[in-house]
Amino acid sequence: MTRPALVLIALTVLGQAAALLHGELRGVVMLASLVLLDGFGAVYSVRAARRGTYRMSWLLAGAGRAFSLGATLAFTAHEVTGLRGWWWAGVASGLIMFGCLTAAALATSAQRLERGVRRSFVAEVVTVFSSGFLLVWYFVLDPVLSRGDRGADLIFEVGYPVGNLLLLAAVGAVLMRGPVSKLTGSSMLLLMGILLYAAADTIFSAIRINGAQTSGSAVSNGALLLASLVMTVAAVRQAAAPTSGDSGTGRVPAWSAYVPFAAVGAGNLLIVGVTIHEDVFLHWGALTIAQAVTTSALALRQWFWLQDSRRLNVTDRLTGLANGTGLRARLDQLKDERAALMLLDLDGFKQVNDTLGHDAGDRVLVEFARLVRQSVRRGDLPARVGGDEFVVLLHDIGTDAQATAVAERILAALRNNPLDLDGERVTIRCSIGVAVTRPGDTARELQHRADVAMYESKRSGSHGWLMYDPAMADRRNRDTAMADALATAAASGQLRLAYQPLVDLGSGRPVGVEALLRWEHPVLGAVPPAEFVPVAERTGVIAELGLWALEEACRQVQQWRSVLPLYASVNVSAKQLQDPAFPEQVRAVLDRTGLPAEALVLEITESAIVDAAVAVPACEALRAYGIRVAVDDFGTGYSSLHLLTDLPVDILKIDRSFVAKLDGTTRGAGVAEAVIRLAGVLGLTTVAEGIETAAQVAELQMLGCTTAQGYLFARPMGAGDFTLDLSARTPSPRATEGPPAPRP
Ligand code: C2E
Ligand code: MG
Ligand code: MG
């Protein structure tokens, strides 16, 4: 509350106290207070208009207050001088005031309503207006009109109540627009002042018309003064607000949706009350009661519907969690409390949807939601904010560890509750980003930090959680810079290929080479493919890079083939496969480089394959040319075994995480063995990746695997180094990249 507002409130209260102690002062105090409040109200409203928010509304309010002041002064002049001209000036000023204030109220809500809600909005405003009319008619208009004198007073006595009805309808219209109206606190206060004014002035008129001394009514005087005070304080408050372009961030209070019900109730009370009071209950009672019950029941039904639709508005239908709207509402309520925001994004959800269908996808989402809800405390808010994106708002977080413990709990629940989808056990996995509020934080900043942490967690591919750390934002910027740099990398000669031999385990001789992209950035240095390939995929540059790598590898291997019959194994990204022109492009490369189709293997990661609608036709087209297709990193994606039986591929590359588990025990060999057996049944060749020890070779041979690659034989190396090895015709564990490989 600003100082001028406090002064005005104090003065008004002091005035009223003085009037209470000295009854004879009452008239003077009332006049002085009204003049003071209207005067300040007019000045501050004009100042408030300079703040930019709802400018027109404040200007109109200022004009309204000026005319109100004019009316008070003119009526006073009429009382003192008895001149009829002053009376006319007062009435005219008063009527213009009603027009201005009505317009001011309406101008606080500039947004248009959607067509669908406009009808019900109009119905609600009519409900409020007609109930107001019932009251005004019974207490003011009917007594005036039935008096029979149709003099000039009628303009005043009918005009003011009608003006009040207009105010009521205007304020009602703004409040009942619901969430469309975004009001500033000051605008809301102005509306309340206007509403109070309408009520007070109606009471004032009713008392006067029904014969009592107006100046004698403490209630109506007090209410009028209070209304005037509220409107003035609103203007003072707005005038002190920081100038900003924001168009009102506050929301219409929730109770405003219940105003029409209150209106129906008031109307019914009045009708029943009047039939009793006027002693016509015996005659009209049954009719009025039945009518009141009918409308009340209808209103009640409407009330339930409103509550249902409110609940639905903030609830996600599929999972029953909160939705984005519900979450935002809770985020807006966060004050200075220490809270945490957790962003969860399912890993590989698209694949589930694509391979197993949308029903399976829905089941995954519902189960995920259940496990999340189960893992958080009662007061915390889990929400689904996008297809497979979830958020949990954690209240009252003492230490960061409390927040990450929840993340751990969720991950453990996911691990312990695999889902049975069409006979397949699927473990749901997700990446989580966590951010904790800081003093002075906005909801947006908090969300942004959680988002950065999630992005980083996703990128790490660890299916775990990460807590926000400022370095992450830098890394994200680095990604953007990287995407820009990548676009020109090929043209400026920063890319090269490293080759890693694929070795026949029987003879120990290389039978092929896998081409692996290397990027030497002039500033960033050597960027690993795990870092730049995903960026290139996101930006689409991968199509160009991939094609360059393919052509370069085919050319190089064709050259080596004059010495040794090697095949080229080249990685292909899911993005490349999606391009219908891809198989044709590959064939053109073969034509240009002279490499025979049977000497080319294209490696596609398992997660790309599971998008069967794209993968199957592409693989078929490639195989029609005689090119072989390998599933890379097999066992790490979501592909189902049943999909694999239909997939047109030739080779399974067992992911190195399974090779690393080979430790001489049956349990350690479990997955590798199963994959090799399965490949045998389906007539596919298996290639093991990441061989680092001789023990692994021995075990793989025992399991029936024929081909392998790994640091044990050779690290990826430049084409120049490779030629040397080939001339020696024996794969050597020489290290051209990174630390020396472990020796057997
Ligand atoms: P990948 O296709 O599974 O390639 C095998 C990765 O395992 C290579 O990492 C290789 O250096 C590494 N590796 C080989 N033997 C061993 C071993 O004994 N132990 C360990 N720990 N690692 C071993 P690199 O070169 O960093 O490539 C990473 C990934 O980047 C590749 O995985 C592939 O998915 C992608 N990539 C590389 N080049 C290309 C390309 O030209 N196009 C596309 N789309 N992706 C590429
Ligand atoms: Mg590969
Ligand atoms: Mg691999």
Question: pLDDT tens digits, residue range 620-631?
Answer: 999 999 999 999
Can you give the pLDDT at residue 152?
A: 75
Question: What pLDDT band is residue 309 in, cutting at 50, 70 and 90?
Answer: confident
Q: How far is CA 21 from CA 14, 17, 25, 219, 225, in A?
A: 11, 6, 9, 17, 18
Indicate if the pLDDT at residue 744 is higher than 60.
Answer: no
Indicate if the pLDDT at residue 732 is higher than 70.
Answer: no
Locate 50 and state its tokens: 């300079």
Ligand 3 centroid–CA 655 distance in Å is 6
Centroid of chain to Cα 332: 13
Q: Which residues line ligand 1 (CB under 6 A)?
A: 500, 516-517, 528-530, 533, 546, 549, 571-573, 603, 605, 632-633, 656, 689-692, 709-711, 716
Ligand 1 centroid–CA 518 distance in Å is 10
Indicate if the pLDDT at residue 116 is higher than 80.
Answer: no
Closest ligand 1 atom number to CA of residue 737 = 11
In our burial notation (b when 16+ CB lie closer than 10 A, e otherwise), range 671-706 reads bbbebbebbeeeebbbbbbbbbbeebbebbeebebb
Can you give the pLDDT at residue 113?
A: 67
8-12, 18-22, 562-566, range with the lowest pLDDT: 18-22
Question: What pLDDT band is residue 729 in, cutting at 50, 70 and 90?
Answer: very low
Ligand 2 centroid–CA 666 distance in Å is 27
CATH of 499-514+543-727, one of 2.60.40.10, 3.20.20.450, 3.40.50.700, 3.40.50.2300: 3.20.20.450
Please list, in sequence order, all residues whose beta carbon lies within 8 angstroms of the beta carbon of residue 426, skipping any fewer than 6 positions away.
352, 364, 418, 419, 420, 638
Indicate if the pLDDT at residue 740 is higher than 60.
Answer: no
* Amino acid, res. 58: W
Q: What is the DSSP string of 586-623?
A: HHHHHHHH---GGGEEEEEEHHHHT-HHHHHHHHHHHH
- Whole-model pTM: value is 0.50
**By alpha-carbon position, which residue is closest to atom 17 of ligand 1?**
690
Domain boundaries, the chain: 3-252, 324-468, 499-514+543-727
Ligand 2 centroid–CA 592 distance in Å is 23
End-to-end CA distance of the chain: 79
Residue whose C-alpha is closest to residue 271's, from 123, 171, 130: 130
Can you give the pLDDT at residue 602?
A: 97
As a whole number, mean pLDDT of residues 93-112 equals 87
The whole-angstrom separation of Cα 128 and Cα 267 is: 9
- Kindly give the interhelix angle for 612-624 and 349-356, rounded to the nearest 10 degrees: 70
Could you say which ligand is closest to the alpha carbon of residue 532?
Answer: 1
Indicate if the pLDDT at residue 173 is higher than 60.
Answer: yes
Closest ligand 1 atom number to CA of residue 516 = 38
Tens digit of each residue's pLDDT (9 = 90 or more) over 188-228? 899 999 999 999 888 888 888 777 655 556 777 888 899 99
Can you give the pLDDT at residue 736?
A: 45
Ligand 2 centroid–CA 651 distance in Å is 12
Can you give the pLDDT at residue 742?
A: 38
As a whole number, mean pLDDT of residues 494-521 equals 93
Rounded to the nearest integer, the mean pLDDT of the chain is: 86
| Cα within 13 Å of Cα(676), Cβ side | 20
Please list, in sequence order, all residues whose beta carbon lies within 8 angstroms of the beta carbon of residue 355, skipping any fewer than 6 positions away.
610, 611, 612, 638, 639, 640, 643
As a whole number, mean pLDDT of residues 336-365 equals 89
Most confidently predicted of 80-94, 117-131, 481-495: 80-94
Ligand 3 centroid–CA 633 distance in Å is 4
As a whole number, mean pLDDT of residues 692-701 equals 94
Tens digit of each residue's pLDDT (9 = 90 or more) over 105-114? 988 865 666 6
**By alpha-carbon position, which residue is closest to atom 21 of ligand 1?**
690
Can you give the pLDDT at residue 741?
A: 39
Pairing of strands 567-572, 628-634: unpaired
Paired with 653 in beta bridges are 687
Of 496, 513, 533, which is best to mutate to test ligand 1, by the most ligand atoms within 8 angstroms of its C-beta? 533
The whole-angstrom separation of Cα 477 and Cα 483 is: 10
Q: What is the DSSP string of 83-98?
A: -HHHHHHHHHHHHHHH
Is residue 593 within 8 Å of residue 558, measured between CB atoms? yes
Indicate if the pLDDT at residue 488 is higher than 50.
Answer: yes
Could you say which ligand is closest to the alpha carbon of residue 516?
Answer: 1
Indicate if the pLDDT at residue 283 is higher than 90.
Answer: no
Indicate if the pLDDT at residue 26 is higher than 80.
Answer: yes
Residues at Cβ < 5 Å from ligand 3 ion: 632-633, 689
Indicate if the pLDDT at residue 247 is higher than 60.
Answer: no
Tens digit of each residue's pLDDT (9 = 90 or more) over 355-369? 788 899 999 999 999
Can you give the pLDDT at residue 195?
A: 92
Paired with 498 in beta bridges are 516, 718
The whole-angstrom separation of Cα 540 and Cα 637 is: 22
The whole-angstrom separation of Cα 123 and Cα 160 is: 25
Question: Domain 324-468 classified CATH 3.30.1490.100?
Answer: no
Q: How far is CA 229 from CA 8, 13, 57, 504, in A?
A: 8, 10, 18, 92
Ligand 1 centroid–CA 388 distance in Å is 29
Which residue reads 């707005």 in tokens?
Answer: 238
Locate 379 and state its tokens: 């007061």
**By alpha-carbon position, which residue is closest to atom 20 of ligand 1?**
690
**By alpha-carbon position, which residue is closest to atom 3 of ligand 1?**
633
The whole-angstrom separation of Cα 338 and Cα 441 is: 10
Indicate if the pLDDT at residue 298 is higher than 90.
Answer: no
Q: What is the DSSP string of 639-657?
A: --HHHHHH---SEEEE-HH
Gyration radius of the chain over CA positions: 39
Q: Which H or E run includes 518?
A: strand 510-521
The whole-angstrom separation of Cα 639 and Cα 684 is: 16
- In the chain, the largest separation of any two C-alpha atoms, in whole Å, equals 124
**Higher-confidence position of 36 and 642:** 36
Ligand 1 centroid–CA 516 distance in Å is 6
Indicate if the pLDDT at residue 425 is higher than 70.
Answer: yes
Is residue 197 within 8 Å of residue 67, measured between CB atoms? no
Can you give the pLDDT at residue 213?
A: 56
278-292, 533-547, 617-631, range with the lowest pLDDT: 278-292
Can you give the pLDDT at residue 54?
A: 82
